Structure 1
Amino acid sequence: MYLLQKGWNEPLRGRNNIRILFNICGVFLLCIFFLLSWRSFEVSSLWKHLQDLWRQPYTIMLLVMMYSIAFLFRAYAWKLYLHHRITMKEALYGLLYSLFINHVSPLKVGDAVRITTITREKKVTLGEAAQSVVVLRILDLFILGLFGAAGMLLLWRSILLNVSVILTCVCIGSVMLFLLYKKVPQFAEKQWKQLKESLFTLQGGMILLLIMLSWICEAFVIYEIAKPLSFVQAVWVNSVTIAGQVFQLTPGGIGTYETVMTLALQAVGTMQSDAYQWSLMSHGFKFIFSYGVGVILLLLYPMELRSFFSQKGEKILWKK
């Protein structure tokens, strides 16, 4: 009995250790955000940037359109992964509800809503829905990491092709994979098996392409706001920023998002003050978008939010 209990507790302990590490990184990024805010926040400068954007209604329309298309691509990728057992509407509602909840609650429970949305009609089991969300999240991180690495090679080729840098990256990556396998072996093995089954097929290639296109579309937000950026730089900055949200501790990643984007923008040659203002603007746009679609969803596909927040996403009740 003791051995069984010990075997059951080890994966949980490993996941708790990883969560603690992520929380420490999140607190560190928030501390940097407060420092950046103290040094770079200027009401007059931010107001000027906002006025410049407001005078370009077609740019705002383009931002809304490209950000919306990004979610359409992700919805279709999810539909493909589940072999068309959910509709585009269900997939899109799940993704947008998840976006809305993650921008309202400091708890990372948007995926619980996403899962519940597609299991409402009983066409997909809870286990299948949860598994699909985990795999697609891993694919998101894989694509973001790929964009991040490719962008670094394109932007700083002379630095990154240095042998010592390559060896250091390989060593860090190997240590992280080893720790992941050591701390949560069953979880790591299961996800790797699911990834292999998903990726090495024609459908898997299509899913990867759709996810890539979705993140490219999302990069238009920072590309249009930070005009001096090239599109390659915008894709890289967006990828690094979104990947950094694994350390989110606040609703919508307030603080974490701005810190990572500011540092990424500085890395491509932007002044700190401009980088900070642009990070606020791009994040502000995403907040407005998420709240806007959230209100629309509550009218079209209402959900009982009180039980959701009280139970932290473990059980979601739908209005009849």
Structure 2
Amino acid sequence: MQTSTPQTRSRNLVKTIPGLLVSAFFLWYTFRGIHPSEFRSLSFVHPVWIAGVLGFTLVGYTLRCVRWARMLQSANARFGTCARVLMTSLAANNIMPLRIGDIMRIFTYAPDLGVAPSAIFSTVILEKLLDVFVVGLIFVQTAGRDLPTNIRRGADAALLISTVGLLVLMFGAGQLEAPMRKIFASLPQNKLIAKMEHWLLLAISTLRQMGIRGNIVLLLYSAVIWFCEGMIFVSAIHLVGIQTDLLGPWEAVSFANLSYMLPSSPGAIGPFEWAVKLALASHGTSRAIAAVFGLAIHAWMLISVTGAGGLIFLVHRFRSHNHIPLLEEIETLPTELP
């Protein structure tokens, strides 16, 4: 596979500019008309809920590590290594463009895991499918009536498609490979079609190896992971005494995480705050307070995950005596997925 060249790096830099502009627009759109005094309005009204924010953050991300380790159990990957690689990649995704963290997980850390990059890539696909399904389900069940109709209809359609697709993949993986090969063989043969076939068959292979029981366990893990994510929002809302109904935090967490699908800067800065503002406002929270809360909860998520992942990364590099600069490692990453 090709590695990065000066021309490739320049092209990647150009690709990040639209994302930065999208983030800048959403930040302006979200916070326009909000007086600076509103940013000082949040305070710890019920400090006991700090335990909830910390506890659910720890449990949720620990379970993410457990889920990914389970996906790689056929390769006998160690839990500690899986946890280190996953947290490092999540931290990198928050501070670097173009989902560099996922690319590093697939290529840079494949030798550490003892797993082929293509197999790791299949688990990343499965991870995203599970998360989108659960988050979409939460959003559709909690979306307030004040949300724009096109957003609600789009979410309903996306949930229906993802539900059917995920159920077929999870419970029919053993019978899907041969029909998929026939379908792709009937399509025009080009590089994109070949890659799509390769990626889909990888995901099917991973699900087939897990078995129906294993797939159900993965789905249950995903449900608990997103319950913890929602409880972070619930705890934070109680912590600062924001007025909303029972569904408000759940729509906020689901819509905010769906906003990561919009092209923007690393960490979805801008779209995340806009989504939280829109969600909480549709459940009775003032728009100004909802926007400021979105900024605060996003800061916590970025700082906690990036801080934990960064610390794990630095400790491992120190113990392994790896003195290669991180940017130099990134420059050697392949320019294409397996």
Calculate the TM-score normalised by the size of structure 2. Answer: 0.69
Is 1:46 matched with 2:22?
Answer: no
Taking structure 1 as reference, are residues 148 and 118 closer, same or farther at Cα in structure 2, changes over 3 Å only?
Answer: same
Q: What is the alpha-carbon distance in structure 2 between the residues aligned to residue 127 and residue 171 of structure 1?
A: 27
Unaligned runs of at least 5 residues, structure 1: 1-19
Where does residue 107 of structure 1 map in the other structure?
98
Letter in 2 for 1:234: P
Where does residue 14 of structure 1 map in the other structure?
none
Q: What is the alpha-carbon distance in structure 1 between the residues aligned to residue 276 and residue 304 of structure 2?
A: 19
Q: What is the alpha-carbon distance in structure 1 between the residues aligned to residue 92 and residue 31 of structure 2?
A: 26
Taking structure 1 as reference, are residues 265 and 214 closer, same or farther at Cα in structure 2, changes over 3 Å only?
Answer: same
Q: What is the alpha-carbon distance in structure 2 between the residues aligned to residue 287 and residue 226 of structure 1?
A: 17
Unaligned runs of at least 5 residues, structure 2: 1-14, 166-186
Give SS of 1:222's match. Answer: helix
Is 1:132 matched with 2:123?
Answer: yes
Per the TM alignment, residue 308 of structure 1 is displaced from its structure 2 partner at its CA by: 3.6
Map 1:265-284 to 2 at 5 A.
265-284=280-299
Q: Are the equivalent residues in 2 in contact too, given 1:93–1:117 (CA < 8 A)? A: no
Give SS of 2:95's match. Answer: coil
Q: Are the equivalent residues in 2 in contact too, given 1:225–1:281 (CA < 8 A)? A: no
Map 1:216-255 to 2 at 5 A.
216-227=227-238, 228-255=243-270
Where does residue 36 of structure 1 map in the other structure?
30
Where does residue 215 of structure 1 map in the other structure?
226
| Structure 2 residue corresponding to 1:257, chosen from 251, 272, 275 | 272
Is 1:67 matched with 2:57?
Answer: yes
Taking structure 1 as reference, are residues 314 and 240 closer, same or farther at Cα in structure 2, changes over 3 Å only?
Answer: farther
Is 1:293 matched with 2:308?
Answer: yes
Give SS of 2:49's match. Answer: helix
CA deviations over 1:206-231 (Å, ceiling 9, x no partner): 00110121111011222122233445
Per the TM alignment, residue 285 of structure 1 is displaced from its structure 2 partner at its CA by: 0.8
Q: Are the equivalent residues in 2 in contact too, given 1:258–1:280 (CA < 8 A)? A: yes
Q: Work out which structure has the larger RCO, using CA pairs closer than 8 Å and 6 or more positions apart in sequence.
A: 2
Letter in 2 for 1:258: E
User: Which range moves more in the overlay, 307-316 or 276-285?
Assistant: 307-316
Q: What is the alpha-carbon distance in structure 1 between the residues aligned to residue 64 and residue 154 of structure 2?
A: 34
| Structure 2 residue corresponding to 1:150, chosen from 134, 141, 145 | 141
Taking structure 1 as reference, are residues 168 and 268 closer, same or farther at Cα in structure 2, changes over 3 Å only?
Answer: closer
Q: Are the equivalent residues in 2 in contact too, given 1:248–1:256 (CA < 8 A)? A: no
CA deviations over 1:286-319 (Å, ceiling 9, x no partner): 1221343134213421286974435646539xxx
Per the TM alignment, residue 26 of structure 1 is displaced from its structure 2 partner at its CA by: 7.7
Where does residue 169 of structure 2 map in the other structure?
none
Q: What is the alpha-carbon distance in structure 1 between the residues aligned to residue 27 and residue 19 of structure 2?
A: 12
Identical amino acids, percent of aligned pairs: 17
User: Which range moves more in the overlay, 110-119 or 202-211?
Assistant: 110-119
Where does residue 80 of structure 1 map in the other structure?
70
Is 1:96 matched with 2:96?
Answer: no
Q: What is the alpha-carbon distance in structure 2 between the residues aligned to residue 130 and residue 305 of structure 1?
A: 27
Letter in 2 for 1:112: I
Taking structure 1 as reference, are residues 117 and 88 closer, same or farther at Cα in structure 2, changes over 3 Å only?
Answer: farther
Q: Are the equivalent residues in 2 in contact too, given 1:118–1:129 (CA < 8 A)? A: no
Taking structure 1 as reference, are residues 260 and 29 closer, same or farther at Cα in structure 2, changes over 3 Å only?
Answer: farther
Taking structure 1 as reference, are residues 239 and 110 closer, same or farther at Cα in structure 2, changes over 3 Å only?
Answer: same
CA deviations over 1:47-98 (Å, ceiling 9, x no partner): 231x326x71x32232122112111111111111122522221222122112
